[in-house]
Amino acid sequence: MQANELLTEAVASNLSIAPASEWLLDNFYKIEEQIRMSKRHLPKGYSKELPHMLKGPLAGYPRIYDLARELILHSDGRVDAESLKRFVDAYQTITVLKLGELWAVAIMLRLALIENLRRISLRIAKSRIDRNLASYWADQVILTAETEPKSMIVVVADLASSDPPMSSALLLNCPESWRDRAMLWISL
């Protein structure tokens, strides 16, 4: 939700967004639809009847969800019938899945894909926040350089004391005009 709101606001402000962000905005309603469908198709309490992971980061989750999640992670979210069959077959050479787990494969894949999109959305939201912060500081530096150049050291000190995250989105996505003007200002 946060990513969708941030991206909608960016588009409304005529800010450029990455292709992944654009895809997320265009398909947000489909993601919500898949969440509703997952809730509707997974009988209440059904997952409690499935064998669960005993240890690891997914301890307490159904092991079929772990299998689906691993498949999504190893296939970069690109799953087809053949890769699914190979993955399940390989898993069953170690541990045989129960009939209920096999029935739940499709819904667990859907849930794992939704979770993967959630993680991607969080990265997109973080990047957008960092880009907004970069834009804010760029505006501050440019305004100060143009109107009160003697106060430039104060703005730079404020920027440094704000302890901005040193992310690639913040460092590399500053407006070109800011980088150009900053380089000009530094050369003076």
Residue 67 confidence (pLDDT) above 90? yes
Residue 66: inside a domain: yes
Residue 141 confidence (pLDDT) above 80? yes
Q: Domain count of the chain?
A: 1
Task: Quote the percentage of the chain above a pLDDT of 90.
Answer: 30
Domain of residue 90 covers: 44-103
User: What per-residue confidence (pLDDT) applies to 170?
Assistant: 58
CB neighbour list of residue 88: distance below 8 Å, 6 or more residues apart: 67, 97, 102, 105
Residue 118: inside a domain: no
Residue 34: inside a domain: no
List Cα–Cα distances, 187 to 23, 26, 69, in angstroms. Answer: 41, 44, 52
For the segment 82-111, what is each residue's pLDDT rounded down to a tens digit? 999 999 999 999 999 999 999 999 999 999
Handedness of CA 87, 88, 92, 93 (dihedral sign): negative
Distance CA 177, CA 167 (A): 20
